[in-house]
Amino acid sequence: MTQNNPTGLPLAVTCGDPAGIGIEIFLAAQKELGGDIPLVLFADRRHLPPSVPVTLFQPQTAQPPPDHIWLRQIDFAQPAYPGRPDPRNAAGVIAAIEEAVRLIQAGQMAGLCTAPIHKAILQDGAGFQFPGHTEFLAHLCDVQQVVMMLTCPELSVVPLTIHIPISDVPKAITRELFHSTAQILNEGLRRDFGIAEPRISVAGLNPHASEGGKIGREDIDQITPWIAELQSAGLSIVGPHSADTLFHPKARASYDAALCMYHDQALIPIKTLDFSGGVNVTLGLPIVRTSPDHGTAFDIAGQGLADPSSMVQAIGCADRMIRARQNAN
């Protein structure tokens, strides 16, 4: 595992909903990483096991021993009980994210890894007005558009449209959205993953990428011309390809990321390949942000059943992204 990133700064890890598995997978991940990557947990000390030694984080303080949790104290309204989310703690969940972003922007943290939140709890308890983490972080960073990429060692995918009904997908796919998403993806692969000449492969909207117009016209009349425009602008982007032939090993070797048309088209292949180790990356932010690719898992919280693999991978991915940005400067 890598040692301290070139910035010399720790990585911020927000606790997510304290009734979920966020804190327990953080504790397991830190133990597995063995102190190789300096981490600061943004949480309430009351929500950690009493036996865990804690060192409070202040800017310019030295990294504590590996068996200590480096903690940025966030005061929550209530105790936390596994599997029993409390809307009264919603403001604390939000405050942890805001404080982490503030410290990154102030140059005191290297980047951000976020444990899962529960949007309905935040909406009920604090009037949270954002669809999720990604949009909230874009707001905090004053960015108009960001791109969600799911990545694992075998595959990286970007869904062009995300949490909308499948019946709404065709009309949601516009030239502007396609162009901006592809450009953010291309720049993100360069800046955050150190890929000098990113290769993007596009999945068709319709089966067999419309099969010459026999199964719809969107791939022929819209997506193909948009790809040609981006190629003329210098992007290495190809397609649209039939999605059912895009994810086998030989096909995956031909590209760095697949740009897919909708949520399941992107997420089914990556979750099939690496259900436990996938990482959610936000491209287009001025800060590095990653997250485990799963939810709060209230149903297993506190039972010792949560798999920390995705958190371990998310922390490692953030560390590599920080290094890539440093090398690019």
Name all domains of the chain by residue range, CATH numbers in brackets: 1-143+286-329 (3.40.718.10), 154-273 (3.40.718.10)
* Residue whose structure tokens are 């409070």: 56
Q: pLDDT higher for 77 or 61?
A: 77
Q: Are strands 155-159 and 147-152 parallel, antiparallel or unpaired?
A: antiparallel
The edge-to-edge listing of strands for the beta sheet with 236-241 is: 54-56, 69-73, 39-43, 11-14, 111-114, 289-292, 279-283, 147-152, 155-159, 257-260, 199-203, 236-241
DSSP state for residue 68 in the 8-state scheme = S
Name, in order, each residue with C-beta under 8 angstroms of 176's C-beta and a sequence gap of 6 or more: none
Q: Is the pLDDT of residue 1 over 70?
A: no
Confidence of residue 65 (pLDDT cuts 50, 70, 90): confident
Nearest to 315 by CA among 115, 173, 169, 156: 115
pLDDT tens-digit readout, 102-141: 999 999 999 999 999 999 999 988 888 888 888 999 999 9
Residue-level pLDDT at 276? 85
User: pLDDT at position 5, please?
Assistant: 65
What was the pLDDT predicted at 6?
Answer: 64
DSSP string, 286-310: SS-EEEESS---TTTTTTT----HH
Alpha carbons 259 and 270: distance in angstroms, whole number: 13
pLDDT for 3 equals: 47
pLDDT of the residue at 62: 82
Contact 216, 205 (CB under 8 A): yes
Q: Does a cis peptide bond (omega within 30 degrees of 0) precede residue 18?
A: no
| Structure confidence by residue, pLDDT tens digits, 228-262 | 999 999 999 999 999 999 999 999 999 999 999 99
Helix (H) or strand (E) holding 30: helix 22-33
Both tokens of 328, joined, read: 């690019």
